[in-house]
Amino acid sequence: MKILITGATGFLGQSITSFLLGKGHTIHYLTTQPKKLLDSTRYHGFLWNPKKGELNVKSLEGVEVIVHLAGESIAGSWSKEGKERILKSRIVSSQLLFNVLKNNSHKVKNIVCASAIGVYKNSDQWQYENRSEVASDFLGDVVLQWENENRKFESLGIDVCLIRIGLVLSRTAGALPELIKPIIWRFGSVLGSGNQYYSWIHVEDVTRLFTYAIEHNLVGVYNAVAQEPEKNKEFVKKLATKLDRIIWLPRVPTFMLMLVLGEKHVLVTSGQRVSNDKVLETGFVFKFPTLDKALSNLLNK
């Protein structure tokens, strides 16, 4: 199958791309950066510039599925301009894809889009895909607008799958290396109340889930999290045990994290307890269902 990927050069994009290539699929990808353009066997890069409304339409030739991941990292600045870039990079890129598909002949049957569990409220109640209450903060607002933009592909007769991704655990990128560092240096501690849930997923499982969504034509919203969300205090404790360390420092109070991180403190002090029941019901099987299994694999312990 020929698959077009946006954001293919990023953390998740690279993992999904290499998995799909390994399964024999052909990948076209869109990048905003000429230096990331490559053209090799079954892997072809094309340029786009969502801000200017430019996209090389050759990238769509023979494509049946789009995996849409592109968007500026939420780890960047949350200044007024930074927030605008985070939101606009998602909305404008979806709008450009929509217009190109609307105005050109193509064979695209479905689009699998990244979304995020940040849409759910900070709560210790289980969160399901059909929950209508949205977090009333910056992230909730971004995810809501992003999902609404991506639902519009349905009006073109294209099946839409929205994957609400949790905290992705990987050895090399994302949150885990940042959580490991202070624990290794013996100044790790519980953050905020410690009672906030981290709904996490192993990078291999989120990669397999995107592939599963493509190959099984999943339609609608699916949470991409393992079945055992952990409270921050348990997560930190389990991580420390795997690293042969103990947490001896007192917890870092929320007001201190607010002073250091500003509004971004919510990334570590808030959390959602997200259910994966819906994706399990489709028959998808997690390779790393528990934090113990995921950390053992990622830390070789």
Ligand X SMILES: NC(=O)c1ccc[n+]([C@@H]2O[C@H](COP(=O)([O-])OP(=O)(O)OC[C@H]3O[C@@H](n4cnc5c(N)ncnc54)[C@H](OP(=O)(O)O)[C@@H]3O)[C@@H](O)[C@H]2O)c1
Residue numbers at the binding site for ligand X (CB under 6 A): 7, 9-13, 31-33, 36, 50, 69-74, 89, 93, 114, 116, 165, 167-168, 174
In whole angstroms, what is the distance from residue 86 CA to residue 73 CA? 7
Nearer to ligand X, 183 or 201 (CB): 201
* Closest to ligand X by CB, 143 or 247: 143
Give the number of other CB atoms < 10 A from CB of residue 260: 9
Residue 6 Cβ, how far from ligand X at the closest point, in Å? 6
> What are 155's two structure tokens?
């009006």
Give the nearest distance from C-beta 69 to ligand X in angstroms.
Answer: 4
Considering only CA atoms, which of 103, 97, 214 is closest in space to residue 146? 97
CB 278 within 8 A of CB 218: no
Q: Which residues pair with 162 in a beta bridge?
A: 113, 221
Which residue's CB atom is positioned nearest to ligand X? 10
- Smaller CB separation from ligand X, 93 or 270: 93
Closer residue to ligand X in complex, CB, 87/247: 87
| Residue 216: CB minimum distance to ligand X, A | 20
Cβ neighbours around 128 below 10 Å, total = 14
20/168 with CB nearer ligand X: 168
Distance CA 112, CA 209 (A): 11
Cα–Cα distance, 92 to 69 (Å, whole number)? 13
Nearer to ligand X by Cβ, of 68 and 247: the residue is 68
In angstroms, rounded to a whole number, what is the distance separating the alpha carbons of residues 79 and 69?
Answer: 23
Helix (H, G, I), strand (E, B) or coil at 159: strand
Smallest distance from the beta carbon of 31 to ligand X, in angstroms?
A: 3
Whole-number Å distance between alpha carbons of 90 and 26: 25
**Least distance to ligand X, CB of residue 29, Å:** 8
What is the C-alpha to C-alpha distance for residues 123 and 187, in angstroms, rounded to an integer?
A: 27
- Residue 101 or 114: the one with the smaller Cβ distance to ligand X is 114
Least distance in angstroms from the C-beta of 116 to ligand X:
4
Residue whose C-alpha is closest to residue 149's, from 138, 139, 160, 140: 160
Closest separation in Å from C-beta 209 to ligand X? 12
